[in-house]
Each structure stands twice: as structure tokens, then as C-alpha cells.
Amino acid sequence: MNFRMSSLFAALITAVMLLPAMAAAEAPKHGDTMTDEMGIEFIYIGPGKFVMGTPETEPGRYPDEVQHEVEISKGFWLAKYETTFKQYDEFCKKTGNSKANDRGWGRGDMPVIHVKWHDAQMYLKWLSKKTGSKYRLPTEAEWEYAARAGTTTAFSWGDNPNDFPDYAWNSTNADKKSHPVGQKKPNPWGLYDMHGNVWEWTCSFYNEDFEGDEQRCSDVKSNENRSVRGGAWYFFPKGLRSGDRRVYHPRYRLPYIGFRIVREQ
């Protein structure tokens, strides 16, 4: 082996040895931020365990909020904000899909509304094809894990309803309409509007008893009921609790339901 070949061989061996270290250095950490090719901002939510559901003593609690431990085994990138009209309108413009009704409240940075579950799936499929990365809705468990952000109180900021004006658009302060994303304080993990503004579709079937459905995405072609989370501009404060669960048919287009997206790691 001549000197030139041996040098190339040594360089190749060194590069291969460095690959694991480089991969480890590039692995995202909990709380990291990222802006994708489409200009959508994400926060990395690292894996972990949490108690999903609510204690029986929590005011406003419903029977379908039974507490149980859930492990989020794989980290994911969750959108910092609810999907906006600006983002969804770009999809409609490029694909020829009908634009969603804004009820005259405005578009731009307003959270998109009047989108059925299947509309969100078409948007996610378009994003995935456009970028080469996998986009989806969060599972119901991922959503609550991110909304709680390490807390065990009724809301991510605590239990005090007097703090609502700082953190959430709801029936007491929203003037009967949605508002631009990101105007209220974020939760402890930097996510905005996890409480209030618009309900958010999850990818999970609604199962009153959970039974694992909260930890997986449903069949895209199914028309069974889906879970929505987070509360909305028209809803009273107790409906904005981290553990509050609601159920809607996936074909509904309503003025208080939008969505937030996940980009897989």
C-alpha cells in the first residue's frame, strides 16, 4: 500500500470512528428549538414518564380523566404555536384545496379554524412530501405530557383561576372569538396557547377508558370519534384544564377547533 492510499485509508477509519460521536452531539435535547424548511417553529419534547388524567379532587373533573402513568418513550418536535391561517392558506394555495372559513375574524397569525380532522391530515401529508420529514398530529398522551410540562396542577401555571388573563383566551376574556397565536404567556416548556384559544385535534381515537388509545395514532381512514384537547375561546375556565378531554367527530368543521403539529425526530 503506497503512502497516498494509506493516508486515505486512515482518514476513512477516523471518519467512521467519529460518526457515533457526531450523531450524539447532534441529538436534540429537551427544550431545544428548531425552525423547519417551511418556517414553522418547533420545541423538542424529550421522552419521559408522567401521570395522565386528574385526581378525583380536582374541581371540574369528569369521569373519563382516570389517572394512570404513561411513558413517552420517544422524543418529538412539537409546534410552538397552533397552526395558523397563514400556514394553512399556503397549503391551500399550492394544492387547490378550499380555504378554511375565518368567520371574518382575520387570517394571518390567527389559529386556523373550521378544519376537520381529515383536512389536517391532508395538510400534514403535504408538509411531509414537501420537506421529506414526517409530520403528524400529537397523540392524546403526547399532547397532555407537553401541556402539563412537568406540572401536576389543573393548569400548567397552577390552580389559580385569577391567572387566566395572563395565560389563556377563554370565555372570560376572548370577546367571543379566537385571537392571534402567541399573545399569552407560554407554559413552562415554552409552548403557547396550550390552554384556550382553540381546541386542538389529536391523532388518537377517543376512548373513555383510555385502554392505550391515547398513546397511538388512529387509522387515518377511520371516521370514529377523535380526542380534542386544550379548551377554546368560547369555553369556561374549567374546560381548559391540562387533563380535560373532549370528543368530536373527525368530519366536523367548527369555529373553535384547530390543530398543532408534530415533526418526528
Supply φ then ψ for residue 164, to 5 degrees. -50, -45
> What is the arrangement of strands in the sheet containing 257-259, beginning at the earlier edge strand?
246-248, 226-229, 199-205, 257-259
How many whole angstroms separate alpha carbon 50 and alpha carbon 119? 31
The domains located in the chain, with CATH, are 29-264 (3.90.1580.10)
Q: What does each of the 265 residues of the chain score in pLDDT, given as a tens digit?
A: 554 444 544 444 444 444 454 444 589 999 999 999 999 999 999 999 999 999 999 999 999 999 999 999 999 999 999 999 999 999 999 999 999 999 999 999 999 999 999 999 999 999 999 999 999 999 999 999 999 999 999 999 999 877 888 999 999 999 999 999 999 999 999 999 999 999 999 999 999 999 999 999 999 999 999 999 999 999 988 899 999 999 999 999 999 999 999 999 8
How many whole angstroms separate alpha carbon 77 and alpha carbon 83? 14
How many whole angstroms from its chain centre is CA 76?
10
Cell numbers representing residue 57 in the block: 379532587
Taking the whole predicted model, whether its pTM rises above 0.85 is answered as yes
The answer to whether 38 and 261 have CB atoms below 8 angstroms apart is: no
Give every CB contact of residue 92 below 8 A, 6+ residues apart in sequence.
98, 99, 100
